[in-house]
Amino acid sequence: MKKLIIVALLALSTTACFKDSDINVDPNRSTSVDPALLFSGAATQFSLLRVAELTWPVALMNQMWASGGRWGLSQAQYDQTRIRSAWGRTYTDVLKNLNVAVDIAQSSQPVNKNAVAQCKILMAFAYAQTSLLWGDIPFTEAATGKVDFPKFDKQQDVLNGCVAMLDEALGLIDVNSKGIVAPNDLYYGGDMAKWRKFANSLKMRILFSMVDADASKGAAIGQLIAGGNMISSSADAMLYKYFNQPGRQNPRFSFTAIFRGGVQSDWYCSKPVYDLLVSLKDPRIPYFFQPGPDAAANEFIALNSVETYTTKSALVNMNLLKADLPEVSFSYSEQLLFEAEAIARGFAPGGFDAATTKMRAGVKESLVSFGVPTAQADAYAAGLPVLTTANYKTVLAQQQYLDLFMRPIEGWVQHRRSGAVGQEIPTMTTPTGAPVAGLIRRLLYRSEEVNSNPNTPSGLTLDAPQWFDK
């Protein structure tokens, strides 16, 4: 009897259980998607990391800004505890989603070549940025889910790979057809001509980061400039726009709004930057900084990397932390200054006169972008010394560094490549109490990666130069 019941019940249950049921089909998520939707997510995440999590710790560690001990982060300790998600999110939320978007775009009929190109350009940007922060990183085996323990590619291979990826993307661009368009292309609204310009400019920036370690890149830079089709006006700049609406504000603004009730009291004026501005009689001082609440008007008191703030300490100007300021991925002033450098270093023709002209144009553009009135900007640019073999390195590097004041990621690359180890421009010294003897030259791999990927390089110190850093 018992057996009969069991058998009957078993038979009953097994035949009916979920064979043709859709009960386990997820009603919350989709099994297919338009690549444009993946692209907008990847771009938003990437920009957010650049403008927030990768801004503050990097700016502080590199003395671009000062913490004044106000923020719970040990500036002089090269404290990276606040760069917790950038590594992982870059791979999982940016690169992986772009990879998936590429796969979908490639398998659609007809192949959406422009979408593939847009995704690949952003991927090259993200890989190059990640490598310039951490050094050797997973590249060839990364972000596909196919390799369990991605190997760490050498930095030169990563950067060369990014250049190749950009070349591939450039080959796919067809300005007469559509790719990912507005609103999902949050940078250029689907304008493929601008994407082409950005791809070329980005390629140049990557080549510039390599040229000190690999002299052959000079010729490549020359060719690129000869070919034109690069960012040629401020309208071409690669910007991710924020809006003065809740949840769409620039996080640099939200930080102050959330933690400090809207009163900027975290980011202070750093001495190396301030001293450089003073030495150049640079009109950007009141645009970069605002006096402390108890300081006199126009009294700017800078802090070094271990000093504690006072109510007189000058702060990073709230005008640079506005809610609707875009995240800048590539600016026109940056382009002009790179071109000046290419000419000055002989990668491109024209000699020092042409280089000086480009530099002055770039500096003017930079000043204007920070809010300096045009006339004042013109006067300052015109007053800059004519570039010569003797001075070009210093003069250009100073201007390039200041131009990147609100872009610590690029600013740090610029500083490291501005001279041999110990001879960077502007001069900086290791903060008292730093855990290593030198300036910080790389971020350390996150423990999540160290613990899960046996291929993670070990034994690197914070002041060990990366391959490019010559």
**By the rule CB under 8 A, 430 interacts with another protein:** no
User: Is there binding between residue 164 and another protein (CB under 8 A)?
Assistant: no
Q: How far is the CB of 219 from another protein (least distance, A)?
A: 33
Stretch that binds another protein, among 109-117, 178-186, 200-208, 381-389 (CB under 8 A): 178-186
Strand locations in 301-417, DSSP E?
315-316, 327-330
Q: Cβ 141 to another protein, closest distance in Å? A: 8
Q: How many CB atoms within 10 Å of residue 106?
A: 14
Rounded (10°) angle between helices 217-227 and 192-210: 160
Instruction: Determine the Cα–Cα distance for residues 166 and 177; give it in Å rounded to an integer.
Output: 19
Is there binding between residue 345 and another protein (CB under 8 A)? no
What's the closest the beta carbon of residue 254 comes to another protein, in angstroms? Answer: 4
Cβ atoms within 10 Å of 160's Cβ, excluding its own:
18
Query: Per-residue string for binding with another protein, 245-274, x by CB under 8 A?
Result: xxxxx-x--xx-xxxxxxx-x---------
Contact 251, 52 (CB under 8 A): yes
326 DSSP assignment: P
Give backbone dihedrals phi and psi of 306, rounded to 5 degrees, phi first. Answer: -115, -5
297 touches another protein (CB under 8 A):
no
22-51 positions binding another protein, by CB under 8 A: 23-34, 37-38, 40-42, 44-45, 48-49
- Identify the bridge partners of residue 270 per DSSP, sorted by sequence position: 303
Give the contact letters, 140-159, x = binds to another protein (CB under 8 A), - = no.
Answer: --xxxx-xxxx---------
Span of 207-215, 225-233, 385-393, 444-452 interacting with another protein by CB under 8 A: 444-452
Which of these, 40, 83, 296, lies nearest to 182 by C-alpha position? 40
Size of the site for another protein (CB under 8 A): 107
DSSP string covering 80-103:
-TT--SHHHHIIIIIIHHHHHHHH
Regarding 451 and contact with another protein (CB under 8 A), the answer is yes
- Asked if 279 interacts with another protein (CB under 8 A), we say no
Q: How far apart are CB 143 and another protein at their closest, in Å?
A: 4
183 near another protein, rule: CB under 8 A:
yes
d(CA 147, CA 103): 17
Interaction pattern, residues 209-238, with another protein; x per rule: CB under 8 A:
------------------------------
Q: Tell me whether residue 80 or residue 333 sits nearer to another protein (CB atom).
A: 80
Query: Among the candidate windows 74-82, 162-170, 273-281, 389-397, which touches another protein by CB under 8 A?
Result: 74-82
User: Angle of helix 351-369 relative to helix 332-344, nearest 10 degrees?
Assistant: 160
- Distance in angstroms (rounded) separating the CA atoms of residues 196 and 198: 5
Count of other CB atoms within 10 angstroms of residue 265:
18
Q: Which is nearer to another protein, 55 or 333 (CB)?
A: 55
Residues facing 327 on adjacent strands: 240
